[in-house]
Amino acid sequence: MGAEHDRQPQGNGSARDPREPRLTRGRDAAQVRGVLADQVIVSVPLDPLLSLKALAGYSSLSVRTLRQFTELAPEQALPCYRLPGKILVRRSTFDTWLEQYHSRGRPGLTRALEELGLLTASRRHAS
């Protein structure tokens, strides 16, 4: 009678109601489209520690260049964790450290124009 209608198909090809909770890596998570979730499960670290090789891929700099940055004077060096045979850098730390090299235009040209009196500090900041 009505029992066949209430029965859900089982097996690999079974259809599942997306509104029903399902187990995701040992935790309950509701998969509902168009509804604000009560809980978000993040499976990827948002601020990982990266090896110099991984950081090279992230930054498009070579491992050799990154290693040289870790060996600069302490006030200029790339902050890192030194383990036996491994150097690790937190991604957010690298991003923050890299900001010191952020520039607009060509710094050498700006310096030359200021030395010639063609560009003052107030005119430089106005543009």
pLDDT score at 114: 84
| Whole-number average pLDDT of the chain | 78
Q: CA-to-CA distance for 55 and 99, rounded, in angstroms? A: 16
Roughly how many angstroms between the first and final C-alpha of the chain, as a whole number?
79
Query: Does residue 73 fall inside a structural domain?
Result: yes
pLDDT (tens digit, 9 = 90+) per residue, 74-127? 999 999 999 999 999 999 999 999 999 888 777 788 788 888 888 765 555 555
DSSP of 7-41, one letter per residue?
PPP-STT----TTS-EEETTEEE---TTS--S---
> What's 88's domain CATH number?
1.10.10
Q: Model pTM?
A: 0.53
Total structural domains in the chain?
Answer: 1
Q: How many CA atoms lie within 13 A of 57 on its CB side?
A: 4
Domain of residue 108: give its range. 46-121
User: What distance lies between CA 48 and its chain's CA centroid?
Assistant: 8
Query: Does residue 84 fall inside a structural domain?
Result: yes
Query: Does residue 14 fall inside a structural domain?
Result: no
Query: Does residue 21 fall inside a structural domain?
Result: no
